[in-house]
């Protein structure tokens, strides 16, 4: 690997960047969808020690994750039920234990993009440094056994292109979706150490919709055949796509802009070559959804013990 292409691995002090000159002129900044603000909250005191941020679609799953990581890090507080830090809003949920922050992002690019704008400002206002961010989520797999975890090599759009396009002031802006390759390799190594479930590194296709956008045959509308669907998914597979989800493009683009090391770790809930419906039992799906949490937990524990040095 060319070290110049993976500058995020540099071990020097690395802040969370925001690139917005207008912020300097603001005397206070209210993060509306978190219901947190620089005037109303002491953000450095609340969040200054954050080193790992895990984000995922569902608020329940992110609460589940904070309970899991608290137990893994021996930081469980018998008196605390891990209150949602974003009280007074039901847009996103946020939980914290020690250096780990767990935040929900809802479904789709617009939802996660809004959350990430406010998250990066929060980390910036809190003077956080050397932050790693993981999206721990779910996806549909292509030719993989359900339960397999895919660590994203590159996030691609529905035409298999590694770019995130957004209209800003009426003009198309194209952003790079590179993720840290070294972090992806470290996560793969963690999975080998755990030896609990299959993990692969591959491309992840990010779509704007769960049904027609992912070539499903079971939406309210569909104008293509089963063969058209199979041809499309096979083309995606030939382009290196291992799984399909709905947030990784903007996640990768925004993490790159803010200079934080980032990875996308999604479990596959079904094999899309075999079907479209998520009809496995609740227990089976719950079990699959634990896989990214377990992998993130192992990675975080390993990083913290490496930092603490030998006992």
CA distance 14 to 124: 11
Q: Which is nearer to ligand R2B, 41 or 63 (CB)?
A: 63
**CB closer to ligand URA, 140 vs 292:** 140
Q: Give the single-character DSSP code of 97.
A: E
Query: Which span (133-141, 145-153, 174-182, 290-298) binds ligand URA, by CB under 6 A?
Result: 133-141
Rule CB under 6 A: say whether 137 interacts with ligand R2B: yes
CA–CA gap between residue 229 and residue 54 (Å, rounded): 33
Q: Which does 107 bind (CB under 5 to 8 A by kind): ligand R2B, ligand URA, none?
A: ligand R2B
Segment interacting with ligand R2B (CB under 6 A) among 7-15, 65-73, 239-247, 255-263: 239-247
Q: Between residue 203 and residue 222, which ones bind ligand R2B under the rule CB under 6 A?
A: 210
- The listed partner (ligand URA, ligand R2B, none) that binds 247, CB under 5 to 8 Å by sort, is ligand R2B
138 binds ligand R2B (CB under 6 A): yes
Q: How far apart are CA 243 and CA 151, in angstroms?
A: 10
| Residue where the block lists tokens 């809190």 | 126
Among 210, 273, 302, 304, binds ligand URA (CB under 6 A): 210
Instruction: State the residue number with the nearest CB to ligand URA.
Output: 140
Q: How many CA atoms lie within 13 A of 303 on its CB side?
A: 17
Distance from the Cα of residue 203 to its chain's centroid: 14
CB-CB contact of 232 with 273 (8 Å): no
**Identified binder of ligand URA from the candidate list 93, 269, 294, 296, rule CB under 6 A:** 269
Near ligand URA in 219-248, by CB under 6 A: 244-246
Nearer to ligand URA, 30 or 210 (CB): 210
From CA 103, how far away is CA 105, in angstroms rounded? 7
From the list 20-28, 30-38, 244-252, 281-289, the region that binds ligand R2B by CB under 6 A is 244-252
Residue 97 in contact with ligand URA, rule: CB under 6 A: no
The binder of 292, among ligand URA, ligand R2B, none, by C-beta within 5 to 8 A per type, is none
How distant is the alpha carbon of residue 64 from its chain centre?
16
The label of the residue with tokens 């790693």 reads 132
Whether residue 304 contacts residue 99, with contact meaning beta carbons closer than 8 Å, is answered with yes
Q: Is 107 in the site for ligand R2B (CB under 6 A)?
A: yes
Encoding tokens for residue 9?
Answer: 């691995």
Distances (CA, A) of 251 to 3, 18, 34, 68, 199: 23, 15, 18, 24, 21
Please check whether residue 146 is in contact with residue 271, taking contact to mean a CB–CB distance below 8 angstroms.
Answer: yes
Cβ nearer to ligand URA, comparing 97 with 236? 236
Q: Which is nearer to ligand URA, 138 or 181 (CB)?
A: 138
Question: Is residue 278 a contact partner of residue 285, using CB atoms and an 8 Å limit?
Answer: yes
Residues that bind ligand R2B (CB under 6 A): 57, 107, 137-139, 210, 245-247
């Amino acid at each position: 690997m060319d070290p110049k292409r993976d500058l995020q691995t540099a071990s020097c002090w690395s802040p969370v960047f925001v690139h917005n000159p207008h912020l300097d002129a603001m005397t206070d900044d209210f993060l509306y969808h978190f219901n947190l603000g620089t005037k109303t909250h002491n953000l450095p005191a609340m969040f200054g020690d954050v080193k790992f941020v895990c984000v995922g679609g569902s608020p329940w799953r992110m609460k589940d994750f904070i309970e899991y990581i608290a137990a893994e890090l021996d930081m469980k507080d018998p008196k605390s039920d891990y209150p949602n830090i974003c009280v007074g809003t039901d847009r996103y949920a946020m939980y914290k234990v020690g250096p780990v922050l767990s935040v929900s992002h809802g479904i789709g690019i617009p939802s996660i993009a809004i959350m990430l704008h406010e998250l990066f400002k929060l980390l910036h206002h809190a003077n956080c440094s050397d932050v790693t961010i993981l999206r721990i989520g779910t996806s549909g797999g292509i030719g993989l056994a359900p339960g397999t975890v895919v660590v994203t090599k590159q996030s691609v759009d529905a035409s298999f292109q590694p770019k995130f396009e957004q209209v800003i002031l009426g003009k198309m802006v194209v952003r790079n979706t590179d993720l840290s390759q070294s972090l992806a390799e470290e996560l793969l190594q963690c999975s080998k150490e755990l030896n609990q479930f299959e993990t692969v590194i591959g491309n992840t296709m990010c779509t704007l919709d769960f049904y027609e956008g992912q070539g499903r045959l079971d939406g309210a509308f569909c104008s293509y055949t089963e063969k058209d669907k199979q041809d499309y998914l096979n083309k995606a597979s030939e382009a290196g796509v291992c799984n399909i989800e709905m947030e990784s493009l903007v996640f990768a683009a925004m993490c790159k802009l803010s200079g934080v090391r980032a990875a996308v770790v999604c479990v596959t809930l079904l094999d899309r070559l075999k079907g479209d419906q998520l009809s496995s039992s609740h227990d089976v799906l719950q079990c699959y959804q634990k896989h990214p949490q377990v992998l993130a937990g192992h990675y975080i524990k390993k990083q913290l013990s490496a930092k603490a040095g030998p006992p």
